[in-house]
Amino acid sequence: SKFEFGRAMPSAFECCALSLIYGRAFDRLHAALWRAVHDTLSERLSTLPECASRTAETFNRNATLNRLATHLADQPSADAA
């Protein structure tokens, strides 16, 4: 199929359908894509500049980025696979 040969990426609907058809979670069914996104996010997060000021407006941003960093650290990367 176009997905198997890398000619197209499945839509969100198709990803859900494939997960149901094969009885596998999305991250298991699309492990290579999952690792690539993980590595890209990790790299981008590590080069993101700090906020110049700590205000109520930036509090949520900082908390979200910290949660993301923790989540990425707990997940396997392409190097671990």
pLDDT in the model for residue 54: 79
Q: pTM value?
A: 0.63
The tokens for 57 are 């407006």
Sign of dihedral through CA atoms 53, 58, 59, 61? Answer: negative
Q: Is residue 1 part of a domain?
A: no
Q: Is residue 21 part of a domain?
A: yes
Compare 29 and 12 and report the one with higher pLDDT: 12
What residues make up the domain containing 60?
Answer: 12-74
CA dihedral of 21, 23, 25, 29, whole degrees rounded to 10: -60
Q: Is residue 5 part of a domain?
A: no
Q: Is residue 50 part of a domain?
A: yes
How confident is the model over 26-59, as pLDDT tens digits?
888 778 888 888 999 999 998 988 877 878 778 8
Q: Is residue 40 part of a domain?
A: yes
What is the number of domains present in the chain? 1
